[in-house]
Amino acid sequence: MLLQLPTDRLILEELQDGRNLGANIADEIDRHKKTVTKRLNQLEDYDLVRNIGRGVYEITSRGEIALDHIDQYDRESDQLKAIIDAEFESTE
């Protein structure tokens, strides 16, 4: 899992407030629409967000866990992914 901080954090935080369009997220976090679209696609690949149709995204339970532990993210290790996986499995 390769996150782009602080952009990914801002996207996840914005989606905690509810579903939103990628373009609206870009405006809210003051990032270019192409940047946000690219990051949303990557976050969707990581199962941290879900595209529910027509460019509307929502945060997933894995995304909520990731945001809770994002301060532990280390680009050199996959510790955050391990934390997400462990916590997600314990909630199923």
Q: Which helix (H) or strand (E) holds 23?
A: helix 22-29
Q: What is the mean pLDDT of residues 77-90?
A: 87
Q: Which helix (H) or strand (E) holds 20?
A: strand 20-21
Say if CB 22 and CB 37 are below 8 A apart: yes
Residue 15: helix, strand or coil by DSSP?
helix
Q: What pLDDT, in 10s, does the model give residues 26-81?
A: 999 999 999 999 999 999 999 999 999 999 999 999 999 999 999 888 887 878 88
So where are the chain's domains? 7-91
Fold of 7-91: Arc Repressor Mutant, subunit A (1.10.10)
DSSP result, 41-87? HHHHHTTSEEEEETTEEEE-HHHHHHHHTGGG--TTS-HHHHHHHHH
Rg of the chain over all Cα atoms, to the nearest angstrom: 13
